[in-house]
């Protein structure tokens, strides 16, 4: 067992048994049987010993995103790389999740990692959607939806709510990448002929219209009074 592995093992055990704040780096290195300097040579900070290798994972994600198949496929499979990593960790991932629930330092590092993935997704999506403000917003929303969908499923597995995370992942990411498939389908495949649009658009549009009209109706009495006041 390598020095690094012993440090990780000791950190997980002690953080779990006696808490993160209550455990000093000295405790960890003593349990691992190594010097204090060695700890900080392997990990930049105390919490790094129980964090996944986000840097390595990120480069795998970027690698998958850089391939040349359809954008939606690339995004889904790149997110799948991250999920698979957590699943492969097994109990250790679950323990980290419990720790993150009570230790801000661990939680914030974990979310920083997710932000890095999100930015990688964003870059890939933006490259396809363009950079005008509306497309920019759309890309941000989709990139964020992908990470969120991933996280929702991952969290369910971490908490032991589901035993079929990969199945749920496919469903969740299909939902998250829906607008991506729609926009790239219309803008790339068929220029404005609206063959696929014609099937689903009317009901959706009708629902949205009803709702907006309803909202407007809420405002109408006030607006009418406002108009009357202005007329005087």
Partner DNA sequence: TGAGTTACGGTACTCAGTACCACTCAGTAA
Partner DNA sequence: TTACTGAGTGGTACTGAGTACCGTAACTCA
Give the footprint of a copy of itself on residues 52-71 (CB under 8 A). 69-70
Name which of 66 and 219 has its Cβ closer to a copy of itself.
219
The reply on whether position 219 binds a copy of itself by CB under 8 A is yes
**Is the sign of the CA dihedral 44, 45, 46, 52 positive or negative?**
negative
Q: How far is the CB of 3 from DNA (least distance, A)?
A: 3
Name which of 2 and 131 has its Cβ closer to a copy of itself.
131
The reply on whether position 156 binds DNA by CB under 7 A is no
Name which of 10 and 121 has its Cβ closer to a copy of itself.
121
Q: Interaction with DNA in 10-49: which residues (CB under 7 A)?
A: 23-26, 33-38, 40-42, 44-47
Binding mask 147-166 for a copy of itself (x = CB under 8 A): -xx-xx---x----------
Q: Which of 81, 116, 184, 196 binds a copy of itself (CB under 8 A)?
A: 184
**Secondary structure of the chain in the HEC alphabet?**
CCHHHHHHHHHHHHHHHHCCCCCCHHHHHHHHCCCHHHHHHHCCCHHHHHCCCHHHHHHHHHHHHCCCCCHHHHHHHHHHHHHHHHHHHCHHHHHHHHHHHHCHHHHHHHHHHHHHHHHHHHHHHHHHHCCCHHHHHHHHHHHHHHHHHHHHHHHHHHCCCCCCHHHHHHHHHHHHCHHHHHHHHHHHHCCCCCCCHHHHHHHHHHHHHHHHHHHHHHHHHHHHHHHHHHHC
Q: Interaction with a copy of itself in 102-131: which residues (CB under 8 A)?
A: 104, 107-109, 111-112, 115
Name which of 108 and 190 has its Cβ closer to DNA.
108
Q: Which of 1, 55, 88, 231 binds a copy of itself (CB under 8 A)?
A: 231
Note the residues at the interface with DNA (CB under 7 A): 2-4, 23-26, 33-38, 40-42, 44-47
């Amino acid at each position: 067992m390598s020095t690094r592995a012993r440090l990780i093992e000791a950190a997980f055990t002690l953080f779990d048994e006696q808490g993160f704040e209550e455990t000093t780096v000295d405790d960890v290195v003593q349990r691992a049987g190594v010097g204090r300097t060695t700890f900080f040579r392997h990990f930049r900070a105390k919490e790094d010993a129980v964090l996944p290798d986000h840097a390595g994972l990120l480069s795998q994600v970027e690698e998958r995103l850089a391939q040349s198949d359809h954008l939606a496929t690339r995004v889904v499979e790149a997110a799948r790389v991250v999920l698979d990593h957590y699943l492969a960790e097994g109990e250790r991932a679950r323990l980290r999740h419990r720790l993150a629930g009570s230790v801000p330092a661990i939680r914030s590092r974990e979310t920083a990692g997710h932000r890095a993935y999100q930015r990688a997704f964003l870059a890939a999506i933006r490259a396809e959607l363009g950079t005008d403000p509306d497309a920019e917003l759309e890309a941000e929303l989709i990139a964020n939806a992908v990470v969120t969908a991933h996280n929702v499923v991952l969290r369910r597995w971490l908490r032991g709510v589901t035993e079929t995370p990969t199945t749920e992942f496919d469903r969740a990411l299909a939902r998250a990448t829906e607008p991506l498939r729609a926009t790239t389908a219309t803008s790339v495949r068929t220029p404005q002929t609206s063959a696929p649009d014609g099937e689903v658009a009317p009901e959706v549009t009708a629902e949205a219209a009803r709702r907006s009209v309803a909202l407007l109706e809420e405002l109408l009495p006030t607006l009418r009074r406002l108009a009357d006041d202005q007329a005087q």
